[in-house]
Copies of this chain bind each other. A is one copy, B any other.
Amino acid sequence: MAKEGITPRAQDYSQWYLDIVRQADLADYAEVVRGCIVFKPTGYAIWEGIQRGLDERIKATGHVNAYFPLLIPKSFLMREAEHVEGFAPEVIEVTRGGGEELTEPYVVRPTSETIIGYFYAKWVRSWRDLPLLINQWANVMRWEMRTRPFLRTAEFLWQEGHTVHATEQDAERETLMILNDVYTDFVEQEMAIPVIRGIKTEREKFPGALRSYCIEAMMQDGRALQAGTSHNLGQNFARVFDITFTDQNNTIQHAWTTSWGVSTRLIGALIMAHSDDDGLIIPPRLAPTQVVVVPIYRNDAERTIVMEAVQRITALWRGKLRFRIDDRDNLTPGFKFNEWELKGIPVRIEIGPRDVQQETVAIARRDIPGRPGKSFVSQNGLLERIEALLSEIQQSLFDRALAFRDAHMFDATTYDELIAHVDHGFVRCYWAGSTEDEKRIQEETRATIRCIPLDQPTEAGRCVLTGTETTQQVIFARAY
C-alpha cells in the first residue's frame, strides 16, 4: 500500500525519487534560475552532517581549509588542453561588472584546479613548503542541460581538495589515502552505503588528470552513482601554471598535484540507497535528528501528565542523542508519524497516558515499517536501548545495501550477457577493449565502465567484447 504522494519505486523509480525530494521537503526547484535548486532546511541539514563528517576526516589527515575566488579568468581554463575540452562547453560567463563590459571575461568556477594552481605557483618555493594540503568548501557552477535535484544541478555545493607534492609517489599516496581514509570511510561508516573503489578509464577520467580514482555506489534501481573522486593530476597542472620547487639537491622541479571532491550529489545517493516507498531513510550517524518523540494525549490533563514524562525522560538524553519533541498542538499523532516517516527520522518514540502509568514507551524504527519495527519497552534503561538500536539500524542499513548490491552484481563472459544484465545492476567482466569500444558499448547499452576495481582477480580471463585474454576486470553499469 503506497503512501499518498509517493509513487512506488517498482512503478516508476525516477518519479519515486522526485516524490521523496518533495515529500521529505529536501529541495525546491529554482525555476527562475536555470537548472538550480534551493536546498531547503531539511535537505541542507543532511549536507551539514555530510560536511561535519568529511571535514573531521579531512582535517584528521592533515589538511587545512582555505577559500579561493569564485571567479576565474576565462583564459586560465583554456591553458590545460584536456581541461578546457572538458569544462569550456558548460561554463557560466561573467562579462559585466559595475555597469561596464569587462576587458577579460571571468567564468564562475566549474572546479578550481586552474585558479588554485595559479596561487600555488606563487606559494610553493622549496621542498620545505611541501606537501601543501588544502581543502575548500565552495559552490561551483556548470551549465547543465538535463537537471535532477541533488544529482545534477547547475549550481552545487562541494569540497575540493588541492594538494602539492614533491614526488609522484607522494601524490599517488595522497590520492589513495583520500579515497580510502576519507571518502570510503565516510560513505560506508556514516552514510551506510557500500562502495566499490576503482580507477577510471582514460575515457572517464577527470579532464587533465593522470589517473582518476573513484568510489561507486549502487542505487536501488541497480544503477551506479559516482560518490567521490580523487585525482592524481601528475605534473599536468604544475607545468601549465608553473608550480615548481627547489628540491634538496637545489634543483628546480615541477611539483605533483592532486585534487579530490565530493558534492551535494551525496544527498541524492543517500536517498536512492536507503529510502523506501514510505519516504526518506537517513542512517542514524548522519541523521540531523536521530529520535523524534511524539507525545499522545486527548485533553489538557493528559497533555500535562505526558509532557511531564517526556521532559523527565529526555532530560537524560541531552548531549547524547540528537532528538526533538514534536509537541505541536494542532496536529494529530498520525499526521506527525507520517511526517517523520517521510523525513526519515531513524527512531520514533510514542508516549501516551497509559505509557506514563506503566512506565513504558513505544519505539518504532524507520528502517522496518509498521508492526514488525515497533516494540513496547520500559522507560528504565531507555537511553541505552535507543543507543543500541541506533547502532543496529546503522549496521542494518549498510548490510541491506550490501546484500542488494551482491544480488545485483553479475559476472558476464559474453557481450550478450553484459547486455542482458546491465539494465538491472552492475556487470563485472574482463576487459581489453579500446576507448572506441567503450563508446560503442555506451551507445548500444547506455552503460559505461564505472571503474577498474582496485580489487582485481588473480587469474586471467577473456575480454567480454574482444575475447582477448587479460587480467583486468571492469564494472559496467548505467550511471547517474
Contacts and interface: CB of A to CB of B under 8 A. Distances in A.
A134 B41 contact: yes
Contacts of A76: 32
Interface size class of A (residues with CB under 8 A): 35 or more
B28 A143 contact: no
Contacts of A225: none
A30 interface: yes
Contact of A34 (B91, B97, B128): B97
A440 interface: no
A319 interface: no
Interface string A87-123: 0111111111111000001101000000100110011
Interface stretch (A62-70, A205-213, A304-312, A351-359): A62-70
A109 to B, nearest CB: 10
B95 A95 contact: yes
Given A41-B64, A45-B64, A99-B89, A69 B119 contact: no
A108 B33 CA distance: 11
Nearest to A92: B97
A141 interface: yes
A68 to B, nearest CB: 5
Interface in A31-81: 32-34, 36-41, 43-45, 47-48, 64-73, 76
Nearest to A118: B32
Contact of A122 (B28, B64, B67, B128): B28
A136 to B, nearest CB: 9
Interface string A293-335: 0000000000000000000000000000000000000100000
A41 B66 contact: yes
A157 interface: yes
B64 A119 contact: no
A32 B93 contact: no
7 closest Cβ contacts across the A-B interface? Answer: A98-B143, A93-B96, A39-B67, A41-B64, A36-B69, A33-B69, A97-B143
Given A38-B67, A67-B157, A95-B96, 17 more contacts: A33-B71, A36-B71, A37-B69, A41-B64, A41-B134, A44-B65, A44-B66, A70-B108, A70-B139, A71-B92, A71-B155, A92-B98, A93-B94, A94-B108, A95-B95, A108-B108, A138-B139
19 contacts: A28-B122, A32-B73, A32-B118, A33-B106, A37-B69, A38-B66, A40-B66, A41-B64, A41-B134, A45-B64, A45-B65, A70-B70, A70-B141, A71-B141, A92-B97, A95-B96, A97-B143, A128-B330, A139-B139
